[in-house]
């Protein structure tokens, strides 16, 4: 018998043969419709992107079948030769991409990467600081409904009422008062540049460990379109599926060897069992893509496009929280139009523009209603939209919102119909998977 892998398994091209369509037509049909939805609507959700076919192929690969508890060279299962190859490549590429000494590429998601940091460094009841959810923080940074808020003692900092920027003096004062063991910078709906050096100075003053959760901006950091949290932060976590454009997952990065054992032990066996090796393989593919000059240019275009979108929205009468954006995202304040975030999300969806309602700083409406929407440019930039297209998109959004301001929740059907047709034109000119 030949010891070489069979030719058919060597070639993924011939691997699929409409197997899913035959085995499960209902799921195959829903996946087909999801592809059509992604093609036909404009994705403005700031945390989403369009992964390459190479990333999708790795995610759908035979590594789904493999158990690989442990780390490269130290596994609890046999047959891990190729699992070691992909995980080692993922680690080496992550370190090169973000310029750090150590990486753990096993966290299954963003939430789990942050849980692992808490498990590694804090005891239940310990005090930590994070950006308030109402100012754009994440659930895992101390929300009362999240484990971080239930089992630990969060103290939050926020943005200033006047300019809606993070108030570094207030961050310092809160840190001095509460002496947190851990300070987290980074968030989900903060559109300005993070001053990591200023956070470092505060962390040093109170003896705190500094964590940056760069989930939203890691693609910009990778491409040099936002300053790097290294060397200022002790530990950096990131999802891999947002501006970084990889599979749905998380990573943990750090420089000091003293964190290696606690962090690795916290991910496995502390929180997780067998890693999702197919997703680890896809992360390696995404990191390789992010190391290219094309990705660097992409990350700068994401920011340029966000500026164009924000400017167009303002020209068309909508207020941008903090007066603009430095990154891929922005919050639009709909208060002056007396339109809720909830109605805007629905109205825009009817016009094939997908976004999410989002609280604005000092919002008086509930999180289920909100006074704002959050918009982002990573997905649109991937499909090829430039500043001209994003300026058009800003105008289309304003038309739909004005229809809602005039007619209430049902909006202006004629306007929405007309926006839909212009969205359709843009989408057909910029296919999400050109060779699909
Ligand atoms: C998205 C996000 C997470 C969580 O990621 P999931 O994969 O959805 O669990 C954590 N932190 C920040 C800042 C995020 O933006």
Phi and psi, residue 392, nearest 5° = -60, -45
How many A from CA of 110 to the centre of ligand 1?
Answer: 4
Domain range for 313: 302-429
- Asked if the structure places residue 12 within a domain, the reply is no
Pocket of ligand 1 (CB under 6 A): 47, 109-111, 114, 138, 140, 186-188, 213, 215-216, 239
- Asked if the structure places residue 24 within a domain, the reply is no
**Among 290, 311, 329, which residue terminates a domain?**
290
86 and 229 part of one domain = yes
pLDDT of residue 18: 82
308 and 396 part of one domain = yes
Mind spelling out the 3-state secondary structure of the chain?
Answer: CCCCCCHHHHCHHHCCCCHHHHHCHHHHHHHHHHHHHHHHCEECCCCCCCCCHHHHHHHCCHHHHCCCCEECCEECCCCCHHHHHHHHHHHHHHHHHHCCCEEECCCCCHHHHHHHHHHHHCCCCCEEEEECHHHCCCHHHCCCCCHHHHCCEEEEECECCCCCCECHHHHHHHHHHHCCCEEEECCCCCCCCCCHHHHHHHHHHHCCEEEEECCCCHHHHHHCCCCCCCCCCCEEEEECCCCCCCCCCEEEEECCHHHHHHHHHHHHHHHCCCCCHHHHHHHHHHHHHHCCHHHHHHHHHHHHHHHHHHHHHHHCCCEEHHHCCCCCEEEEECHHHCCCHHHHHHHHHHCCEECEECCCCCCCCCCCCCCEEEEECHHHHHCCCCHHHHHHHHHHHHHHHHHHHHHCCCCCHHHHHHHHHHHHHHHHHCCCCCCC
336 and 282 part of one domain = no
329 and 204 part of one domain = no
Q: What is the torsional sign of CA 294, 295, 300, 303?
A: positive
- Asked if the structure places residue 38 within a domain, the reply is no
CATH of the domain at 382: 3.90.1150.10
Q: What is the pLDDT of residues 310-367, one digit of tens each?
A: 999 999 999 999 999 999 999 999 999 999 999 999 999 999 999 999 999 999 999 9
- Asked if the structure places residue 84 within a domain, the reply is yes
273 and 325 part of one domain = no
pLDDT of residue 8: 46
The number of domains in the chain is 2
Catalytic sites, residue numbers = 67, 69, 213, 239, 242, 248
Residue owning the nearest CA to atom 6 of ligand 1: 110
- Asked if the structure places residue 172 within a domain, the reply is yes
Token pair, residue 113, equals 């990467």
For residues 117 and 75, give the distance between their C-alpha atoms in angstroms, rounded to a whole number.
22
348 and 244 part of one domain = no
For residues 191 and 170, give the distance between their C-alpha atoms in angstroms, rounded to a whole number.
19
pLDDT of residue 11: 55
The bridge status of strand 153-157 relative to strand 42-43 is unpaired
How many A from CA of 252 to the centre of ligand 1?
Answer: 13
Residue owning the nearest CA to atom 15 of ligand 1: 188
157 and 241 part of one domain = yes
99 and 179 part of one domain = yes
- Asked if the structure places residue 49 within a domain, the reply is no
Token pair, residue 89, equals 């490549």
For residues 436 and 38, give the distance between their C-alpha atoms in angstroms, rounded to a whole number.
13
**Ligand 1, from 138, 189, 217, 238: best to mutate by most atoms within 8 Å of Cβ?**
138
Beta carbons within 10 angstroms of residue 17's beta carbon: 8
For residues 37 and 40, give the distance between their C-alpha atoms in angstroms, rounded to a whole number.
5
| Minimum-distance ligand 1 atom for the alpha carbon of 242 | 1
For residues 52 and 41, give the distance between their C-alpha atoms in angstroms, rounded to a whole number.
18
pLDDT of residue 323: 96
| Minimum-distance ligand 1 atom for the alpha carbon of 237 | 11
353 and 281 part of one domain = no
CATH of the domain at 244: 3.40.640.10
| pLDDT beneath 70, residues of the chain | 1-14, 436
Closest by Cα among 328, 330, 301, 303 to 318: 330
Q: What is the pLDDT of residues 283-307, one digit of tens each?
A: 999 999 999 999 999 999 999 999 9
pLDDT of residue 125: 98
The CA-CA-CA angle for residues 166, 167, 168, to 5°, reads 105
How many A from CA of 321 to the centre of ligand 1?
Answer: 21
pLDDT of residue 2: 46
- Asked if the structure places residue 15 within a domain, the reply is no
How many A from CA of 219 to the centre of ligand 1?
Answer: 14
**Ligand 1, from 108, 184, 239: best to mutate by most atoms within 8 Å of Cβ?**
239
356 and 248 part of one domain = no
Closest by Cα among 152, 156, 154 to 125: 152
Residue owning the nearest CA to atom 8 of ligand 1: 110
**Among 290, 315, 334, which residue terminates a domain?**
290
| 183-215 CB burial, b ≥16 within 10 A, e <16 | bbbbbbbbbbebbbebbbebbeebebbbbbbbb
For residues 113 and 106, give the distance between their C-alpha atoms in angstroms, rounded to a whole number.
9
245 and 321 part of one domain = no
| 410-431 CB burial, b ≥16 within 10 A, e <16 | ebbeebbebbbebbeebbeebe
- Asked if the structure places residue 197 within a domain, the reply is yes
The bridge status of strand 356-357 relative to strand 319-320 is unpaired
The CA distances from residue 194 to 120, 182, 187, 197, 246, in Å, are: 25, 17, 10, 9, 23
271 and 348 part of one domain = no
**Among 225, 257, 290, which residue terminates a domain?**
290
How many A from CA of 139 to the centre of ligand 1?
Answer: 8
């Amino acid at each position: 018998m030949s010891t070489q892998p069979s030719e058919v398994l060597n070639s993924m091209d011939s691997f699929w043969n409409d197997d899913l369509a035959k085995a499960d037509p209902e799921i195959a049909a829903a996946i087909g419709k999801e592809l059509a939805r992604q093609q036909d609507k404009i994705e403005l959700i700031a945390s989403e992107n369009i992964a390459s076919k190479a990333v999708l192929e790795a995610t759908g690969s035979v590594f789904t079948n493999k158990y690989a508890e442990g780390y490269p060279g130290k596994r609890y299962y046999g047959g891990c030769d190729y699992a070691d190859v992909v995980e080692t490549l993922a680690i080496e590429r992550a370190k090169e991409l973000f310029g750090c000494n150590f990486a753990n590429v096993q966290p299954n998601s963003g939430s789990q990467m942050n849980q692992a940091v808490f498990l590694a460094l804090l005891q239940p009841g310990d005090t930590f600081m994070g950006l308030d959810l109402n100012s754009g923080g994440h659930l895992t940074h101390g929300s009362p409904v999240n484990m971080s808020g239930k089992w630990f003692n969060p103290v939050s900092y926020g943005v200033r009422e006047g300019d809606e920027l993070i108030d570094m003096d207030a961050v310092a004062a809160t840190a001095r008062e509460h002496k947190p063991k851990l300070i987290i910078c980074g968030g989900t709906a903060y559109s300005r540049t993070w001053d990591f050096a200023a956070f470092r100075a505060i962390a040093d003053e109170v003896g705190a460990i500094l964590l940056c959760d760069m989930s939203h901006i890691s693609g910009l950091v990778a491409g040099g379109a936002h300053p790097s949290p290294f060397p200022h932060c002790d530990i950096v976590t990131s999802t891999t599926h947002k501006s970084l454009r990889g599979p749905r997952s998380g990573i943990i990065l750090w420089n000091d060897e003293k964190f290696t054992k606690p962090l690795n032990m916290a991910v496995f066996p502390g929180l997780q069992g067998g890693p999702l090796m197919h997703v680890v393989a896809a992360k390696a593919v995404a990191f390789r893509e992010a190391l290219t000059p094309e990705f660097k240019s992409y990350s700068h275009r994401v920011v340029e496009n966000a500026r164009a979108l924000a400017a167009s929205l303002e020209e068309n009468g909508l207020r941008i929280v903090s007066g603009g954006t430095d990154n891929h995202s922005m919050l639009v304040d709909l208060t002056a139009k007396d339109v809720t975030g909830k109605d805007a999300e629905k109205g825009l969806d009817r016009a094939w523009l997908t976004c999410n309602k989002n609280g604005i700083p000092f919002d008086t409406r509930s999180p289920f209603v909100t006074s704002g929407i959050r918009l982002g440019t990573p997905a649109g930039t991937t499909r090829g939209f430039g500043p001209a297209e994003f300026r058009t998109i800003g105008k289309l959004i304003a038309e739909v919102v004005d229809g809602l301001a005039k007619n209430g929740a049902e909006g202006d059907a004629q306007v929405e119909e007309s926006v839909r047709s212009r969205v359709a034109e843009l989408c057909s000119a910029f296919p999400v998977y050109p060779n699909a």
